[in-house]
Structure 1
């Protein structure tokens, strides 16, 4: 146990010495990249030493080596979770939300009555906390990826809508004529 604590202290001293040496270098390009890497490696080494040195229960604070081993043995389930959460839920919701908001903003820019009708509703929904809307969306869409995508759509739609409408309204006649000239 004492050996692990000594390892943690030595790792901390070595990491600090390396980062101090990097900070003294006149060429700061490599220091800007290496300093965070050295700090991260030092933090992981100290964490490993403290967990083993003090005999901390793995349930309370697992060692980085145990986390890495578990990560390697669980790549199959992690990939399935990644596809479910990021690709299906977040990315799909982001694409749908941004696309729908952009198309709605174009319609609002063309028809002023939509601006008077939709933007107040959009501002109201954008002001609602996500933690209040998420349970409703889960009840509507279920526990699968569709509910996660719906939450992302709601989160993305209104900021994109408001900013796109603002951007479209801030153009003057000269800029619009230039875009028509370019056939854009």
Structure 2
């Protein structure tokens, strides 16, 4: 048997023993964080030892150290992806969708003809699966962040509208 595999088995047994002891003693406070932190660190260490010891191809399962090294060298492109996906697509769509839905919800609460005309459409659109709406949004807005933001607006707008109208009606 490989030395790394034997080390992984020993690490697993030792961490199990220590985790059982820590979990029995930790009743409150910061001591409650030690068992889950130890469990997570043990999993990462076992992953590293077994991948190295069993010579698993990095294409199938890279070691955590290789993932961390790649992550550290790719921070520039990862940050650009975070800005594109989260800030421009998801967050902008969420703010636009919820803000517009709240304003329209206030108008629907004040004007009964909007309630009769808009709420059935809102219920219908909120029931549509996003997998059916996404290709339409991509065709309309293109492949850039605008289509992603439009999908998030659709996902947020009608549930927020319906809940705003119900909340204002109950108040």
TM-score range normalised by the length of the shorter chain: over 0.9
Residue in 2 aligned with 1:74?
Answer: 74
Instruction: Name which of structure 1's ranges 11-20 and 139-148 shifts more when overlaid on structure 2.
Output: 11-20
Answer yes or no: is 1:47 the counterpart of 2:53: no
Aligned equivalent of 2:170: 170
Unaligned runs of 5+ in 1: 172-184
Query: Post-superposition shift, 1:147?
Result: 0.8
SS state of the match for residue 58, structure 1? coil
Partner of 1:21: 21
Task: Please report how far the alpha carbon of residue 32 of structure 1 lies from its aligned counterpart in structure 2 after TM superposition.
Answer: 3.0
Report the TM-score, using the length of structure 1 for normalisation. 0.88
- SS of residue paired to 1:143: coil
Residue 60 of structure 1 aligns to a residue whose secondary structure is: coil
- The alignment's C-alpha RMSD in Å is 1.3
User: Where does residue 156 of structure 1 map in the other structure?
Assistant: 156
- Whether 1:57 and 2:73 are equivalent positions in the alignment is no
User: How far apart, CA to CA, are the structure 2 residues paired with 1:6 and 1:117?
Assistant: 70
Aligned to 1:178: none
Structure 2 unaligned spans of 5+ = none
Q: Match for residue 32 of structure 2? A: 32
**Could you tell me how far 1:30 is from its partner in structure 2?**
2.8
Aligned counterparts of 2:145 and 2:76: Cα–Cα separation in 1 = 18
In the superposition, the TM-score normalised over structure 2's length comes to 0.95
Supply the distance in 1 between the matched residues of 2:12 and 2:148 (Cα, whole angstroms): 41
Counterpart position of 1:12: 12
